[in-house]
C-alpha cells in the first residue's frame, strides 16, 4: 500500500459494503435523545430554582457532560465506517469454482468383450465405473460411451445414482456403429464442460487401448483446456480373442486370423507427455479407483491455482479504523460508565469476521441470494421458502420431494424446459397422461429435446404395459366368472335329476367343492396381489429411471442420433 500514490488511493477508494452506510441514519435519533437528556439536567430543574441549582452542581460539570455524547457519536460513526469496508487497494486473485465436474468415458468397442481379464474386460470396467460413480458424491458427473462414434448417455448431473442405474445395460451390442474412435468421445466431453461453463474439470477414461493417431487427436482436443485426464487401462499384454457369442467362435480380421487385442502403453505414455494425465492399470481391489480420484483431484487443484482467469478483488481495510476506536472506548469508560456498552457491542460485531454472517443476511442479501446459499447447501426446503424466482422455487420443491408444488409452479410458464420439468413432477405423482402431454408440448416447441423424448417413450411404454396387464386381469376375471357360471348351471341340472339320497351326497361334495373353490380363489387373490406388487415395482423402477428394457431404448436412441448425424462408416480400418 505504501507504493501507491495519493491519486491511486483516491481512484481506488470504495466501500465494499456500502449498504452499511445506511446505519449512519441511526446516529441521528441517538444524538437527539442523548442531547435532550443532557439538556434537561435531570429532575433537579423542576424542584430547585436556577439561581440555587448552580451552587449544587459541581464546577464545570455542565461542560463535561457533553463529552460522553460526543465520544458515543464518534464511536458509532467510526464503527459503521469500519463495517462498511473502506478499501483503497485492489488485488488480483484466481477464480476458484465450487463443485467438481467430471465426464466419464467408457470404451464399448468390440475389443472390450475380450476375456483376458475375467469374466471380461467390459464386465470389470462396468464394476469400476460403478465404484467411480459411488465415489462421486460431490459435483456433477456425465457419461459418454463410444465405439465407431460417441454418444452421451447422461449429461452433467448432480445425481450420480441416475447414471449408475444405466450401467448394467451397457454392452458392445447397443452401439449403432462398429470401430474405435475415442477422440470423438473427447470432443463431446470437452463440449459438455464448455457448455456448462466449467473452466476446469476431470475426464476419466476407461479403455483397453488406443492407437498412436488417437493419442495425437486427443492431445489436440485437450491442448487448450484446463481439464485433467485420468485413464484406467483394462487389458493385458498377452491379450485374448474376442468372442462373438452364440458359439460363433471368435472375431477374425480380413486375413482370416483370430484378432488378439493387446495393451499397448506407448500411446498412453505419449499422451501423458503432452497432457497432465494419471494412468493406472485395473486392480482386483479398489486401489485403482482411489488413485484415479485422489490424483485427479490433486491435478485439478493445481490446474485451478495456475488458471489464468483472475478477478480484481478489493482489499477490506476497515480494520485500520479499529485503532482509533480503542482510545474512544477508553474515554467512554473514563467519562461515563453507562454508555460504552453500545459502542463495545458495535465494535465486537465489526471485529469478528463471521458474527454478522447470519444477522446481516436479511439486511444486505436479497431473498433470492439467501435462497441460493441455502440451495447450494442442499437445504432445499428453506430455499423453496426464500426463492422469489419461480423457476428456482419450483426446482427447490422438486429436489425436496414436493412434486405437487413443483408442478404448480412449473405450470405458470410454457417454455420447453418448464414443460419438461412439469412432466417429471407429474410423473412422480403418477399422473401419467398429463406427464405425457407435458412432454409432448415440450417436443412441439423443441423437437430435438432428447430428454423429453426419452422420458415420453419410457412413460408411454410403462403405461402400455399397465394397460395390457389390466386387460389381461379383466379377461381372466371374465373367464373365471364364465367358468363359475357354467359349473353352477351344470351342477343345477345334476341336482334336478338326482334323488334325495344323491342330493345329500352331492351336498357333501358341494361342501368339499366350495372349500376347493375358496382355496382356488385365495390363490387367485394371492396371484393378483403379486401382479399388483410387480406393477408397483415396475412403476418404482421408472421413477428411479430404470426402464424394463433400457438397453433397447438406448440402442434405438443412439441409432436415431447416428442416422441424424448422417455419418457413414466407410473408412473404418478395424471394427474392434
Q: How confident is the model at residue 94 (pLDDT cuts 50, 70, 90)?
A: very low
Task: Centre a 10 Å sphere on the Cβ of residue 347 and count the other Cβ atoms it contains.
Answer: 21
Instruction: Give the residue numbers spanning the domain of 559.
Output: 402-477+533-566
Task: Quickly state the pLDDT bin for 306 (edges 50, 70, 90).
Answer: very low
Q: How far is CA 475 from CA 469, 472, 520, 524, in A?
A: 10, 5, 17, 13
Residue 491 lies in a domain: no
**Same-domain check for residues 38 and 159:** no
pLDDT score of 337: 47
* DSSP string computed for 267-308: HHHHHHHHS-EEEEE--SSSHHHHHHHHHHHHHHHHHHHT-S
pLDDT of residue 38: 61
In a shared domain, residues 204 and 330: no
Same domain, 79 and 133: no
**Where does a domain end: 275, 308, 341?**
308
Residue 575 lies in a domain: no
| CA 40 to the chain's CA centroid | 65
Between these two residues, 83 and 300, which has the higher pLDDT value? Answer: 83
Structural domain contains residue 391: no
CA–CA gap between residue 411 and residue 509 (Å, rounded): 64
- Domain boundary (252, 281, 308) is at 308
CA–CA separation, 143 and 530 (whole Å): 36
Same domain, 75 and 139: no
Domain assignment present for 381: no
pLDDT at 536: 53
| Four-residue CA torsion sign, 363, 368, 372, 375 | positive
**CA pair distance 287, 266, nearest whole angstrom:** 23
Residue 432 and residue 470 in one domain: yes
Residue 251 lies in a domain: yes
- Same domain assignment for residues 129 and 69: no
pLDDT at residue 555, rounded to an integer: 75
Percent of residues, the chain, with pLDDT higher than 90:
20
Per residue, what are the HEC states of 365-415? CCHHHHHHHHHHCCCHHHHHHHCCCHHHHHHHHHHCCCHHHHHHHHCCCCC
Q: Is residue 406 a contact partner of residue 388, using CB atoms and an 8 Å limit?
A: no
Question: Does residue 424 sit in the same domain as residue 470?
Answer: yes
Report DSSP letters for 487-514, one per residue: HHHHHHHHHHHS-HHHHHHHHHHHHHHH
Cα–Cα nearest to 84, from 476, 349, 378: 349
Bond into 119 cis (ω within 30): yes
Q: Count Cα neighbours of 244 within 13 Å in the Cβ-side half-sphere.
A: 10
pLDDT of residue 266: 94
Q: Are 126 and 110 in the same domain? A: yes
Question: SS3 of 109, please?
Answer: coil
Q: How confident is the model at residue 203 (pLDDT cuts 50, 70, 90)?
A: very high
Reported as a single tens digit per residue, the pLDDT across 14-62 is 888 888 888 888 888 877 877 776 666 555 555 555 555 555 554 444 4
Give the pLDDT score at 299.
Answer: 59
77 shares its domain with 117 = no
* Predicted pLDDT of residue 519: 55
Is the predicted pLDDT of residue 338 greater than 50, yes or no? no
- Above 60 in pLDDT, residue 515? no
Residue 318 has pLDDT above 70, yes or no: yes
Note the pLDDT of residue 60.
Answer: 45
Q: Which of 86-95, 111-120, 380-389 has the highest mean pLDDT?
A: 111-120
Q: Nearest Cα to 472, choosing from 520, 431, 532?
A: 532
User: Is 371 in contact with 392 (CB distance < 8 Å)?
Assistant: yes
542 is a domain residue = yes
More confident residue, 411 or 502: 411
Give yes or no for residue 545 having a pLDDT over 50: no
- pLDDT interval class at 238 (50, 70, 90): very high
Nearest to 278 by CA among 267, 268, 263: 268
Q: Please write the tens of the pLDDT for every residue from 239-284.
A: 999 998 767 788 888 788 899 999 999 999 999 998 889 999 999 8
Question: How far apart are alpha carbons 8 and 271 in whole angstroms?
Answer: 48
Q: Write down the pLDDT at residue 147.
A: 93
Examine the fold and report which residue of 308, 337, 362 is the final residue of a domain before the chain moves on.
Answer: 308
Q: Is residue 522 part of a domain?
A: no
Q: Tell me the CATH number at 452.
A: 1.25.40
Place of cell 465489526: 350
The DSSP bridge partners found for residue 101 are 140
How far apart CA 386 and CA 374 sit, in angstroms, is 9
Distance CA 469, CA 464 (A): 8
Among the residue ranges 95-99, 392-396, 517-521, the one predicted with the least confidence is 95-99
Task: Please check whether residue 242 is in contact with residue 115, taking contact to mean a CB–CB distance below 8 angstroms.
Answer: no
Nearest to 185 by CA among 225, 224, 226, 153: 153
Q: For residue 210, how many other CB atoms are within 10 A of its CB?
A: 23
DSSP 58: P
pLDDT of res. 395: 83
- pLDDT at position 222, please? 93
Entry pTM: 0.47
Cα 62 from Cα 54, distance rounded (Å): 10
541, pLDDT greater than 50: no
Residue 182 lies in a domain: yes
- For residue 250, the 8-state DSSP code is B
Identify the residue whose cell numbers are 469500519: 82
Task: Give the chain's domain count.
Answer: 3
Length of the chain: 576
Give the chain's mean pLDDT: 75
Beta-bridge partner residues of 312 = 92
* DSSP letter for each residue of 257-270: PBP------HHHHH
Neighbours of 368 (CB within 10 A): 16
Closest alpha carbon to 321 in 112, 5, 20: 20
In this predicted structure, the answer to whether residue 569 has a pLDDT above a threshold of 50 is no
Secondary structure (DSSP) of 502-547: HHHHHHHHHHHHHHHHHHHHHHHHHHHHHHHHHHHHHHHHHHTT--
Confidence category of residue 75, pLDDT binned at 50, 70, 90: confident
Q: How far apart are CA 472 and CA 478, in angstroms?
A: 10
Nearest to 154 by CA among 133, 127, 184, 135: 133
- 75 and 114 inside one domain: no
pLDDT at 221: 94
How many angstroms separate the CA atoms of 518 and 396, rounded? 52
Cβ pair 204, 102 in contact under 8 A: yes
Are 174 and 550 contacting, i.e. CB atoms less than 8 angstroms apart? no
Claim to verify: residue 264 and residue 214 sit in the same structural domain: yes
Give the whole-angstrom CA distance, residue 568 versus residue 285: 41
Predicted confidence at residue 232, as pLDDT, reads 96
Same domain, 298 and 336: no
Most distant CA atoms of the chain, gap in Å: 138
Amino acid at each position: 500500500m505504501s507504493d501507491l500514490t495519493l491519486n491511486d488511493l483516491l481512484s481506488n477508494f470504495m466501500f465494499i459494503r456500502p449498504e452499511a452506510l445506511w446505519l449512519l441514519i441511526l446516529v441521528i435519533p441517538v444524538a437527539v435523545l442523548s442531547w435532550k437528556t443532557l439538556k434537561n439536567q435531570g429532575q433537579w430543574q423542576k424542584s430547585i430554582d436556577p439561581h440555587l441549582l448552580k451552587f449544587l452542581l459541581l464546577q464545570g460539570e455542565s461542560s463535561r457532560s457533553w463529552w460522553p455524547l460526543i465520544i458515543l457519536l464518534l464511536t458509532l460513526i467510526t464503527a459503521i465506517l469500519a463495517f462498511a469496508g473502506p478499501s483503497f487497494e485492489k488485488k488480483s486473485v484466481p477464480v476458484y469454482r465450487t463443485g467438481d465436474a467430471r465426464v466419464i468415458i467408457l470404451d464399448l468397442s468390440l475389443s472390450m468383450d475380450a476375456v483376458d481379464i475375467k469374466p471380461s474386460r467390459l464386465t470389470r470396467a462396468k464394476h469400476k465405473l460403478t465404484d467411480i460413480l459411488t465415489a462421486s458424491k460431490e459435483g456433477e458427473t456425465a457419461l459418454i460411451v463410444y465405439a465407431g462414434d460417441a454418444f452421451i448417455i447422461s449429461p452433467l448431473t448432480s445425481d450420480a445414482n441416475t447414471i449408475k442405474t444405466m450401467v448394467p445395460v451397457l454392452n458392445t451390442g447397443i452401439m449403432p456403429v462398429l470401430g474405435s474412435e475415442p477422440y470423438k468421445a473427447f470432443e463431446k466431453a470437452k463440449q459438455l464442460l464448455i457448455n456448462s461453463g466449467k473452466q476446469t474439470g476431470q475426464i476419466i477414461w476407461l479403455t483397453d487401448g488406443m492407437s498412436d493417431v488417437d493419442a495425437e487427436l486427443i492431445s489436440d482436443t485437450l491442448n487448450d483446456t484446463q481439464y485433467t485426464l485420468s485413464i484406467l487401462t483394462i487389458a493385458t499384454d498377452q491379450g485374448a480373442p474376442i468372442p462373438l457369442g452364440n458359439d460363433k467362435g471368435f472375431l477374425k480380421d480380413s486375413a482370416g486370423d483370430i484378432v488378439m487385442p493387446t495393451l499397448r502403453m506407448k500411446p498412453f505414455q505419449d499422451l501423458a507427455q503432452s497432457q497432465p494425465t494419471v494412468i493406472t492399470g485395473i486392480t482386483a481391489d479398489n486401489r485403482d479407483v482411489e488413485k484415479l480420484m485422489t490424483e485427479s483431484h490433486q491435478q485439478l487443484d493445481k490446474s485451478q491455482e495456475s488458471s489464468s482467469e483472475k478477478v480484481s478483488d478489493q482489499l477490506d481495510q476497515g480494520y485500520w479504523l479499529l485503532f482509533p476506536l480503542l482510545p474512544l472506548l477508553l474515554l467512554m469508560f473514563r467519562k461515563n460508565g453507562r454508555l460504552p456498552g453500545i459502542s463495545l457491542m458495535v465494535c465486537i460485531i465489526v471485529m469478528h469476521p463471521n458474527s454478522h454472517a447470519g444477522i446481516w443476511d436479511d439486511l444486505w442479501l436479497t431473498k433470492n441470494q439467501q435462497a441460493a446459499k441455502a440451495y447450494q447447501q442442499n437445504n432445499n426446503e428453506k430455499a423453496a421458502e426464500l426463492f422469489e424466482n419461480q423457476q428456482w422455487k419450483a426446482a427447490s420443491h422438486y429436489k425436496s420431494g414436493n412434486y405437487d408444488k413443483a408442478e404448480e409452479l412449473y405450470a405458470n410458464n410454457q417454455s420447453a424446459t418448464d414443460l419438461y420439468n412439469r412432466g417429471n413432477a407429474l410423473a412422480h405423482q403418477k399422473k401419467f397422461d398429463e406427464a405425457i402431454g407435458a412432454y409432448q408440448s415440450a417436443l412441439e416447441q423443441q423437437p430435438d429435446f432428447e430428454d423429453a423424448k426419452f422420458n415420453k417413450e419410457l412413460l408411454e411404454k410403462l403405461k402400455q404395459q399397465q394397460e395390457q396387464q389390466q386387460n389381461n386381469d379383466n379377461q381372466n376375471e371374465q373367464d373365471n366368472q364364465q367358468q363359475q357360471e357354467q359349473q353352477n348351471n351344470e351342477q343345477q341340472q345334476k341336482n334336478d335329476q338326482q334323488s334325495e339320497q344323491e342330493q345329500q351326497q352331492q351336498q357333501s361334495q358341494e361342501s368339499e367343492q366350495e372349500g376347493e373353490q375358496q382355496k382356488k380363489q385365495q390363490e387367485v387373490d394371492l396371484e393378483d396381489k403379486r401382479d399388483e406388487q410387480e406393477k408397483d415395482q415396475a412403476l418404482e423402477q421408472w421413477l428411479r429411471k430404470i426402464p424394463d428394457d433400457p438397453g433397447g431404448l438406448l440402442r434405438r436412441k443412439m441409432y436415431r442420433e447416428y442416422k441424424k448425424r448422417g455419418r457413414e462408416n466407410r473408412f473404418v480400418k478395424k471394427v474392434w
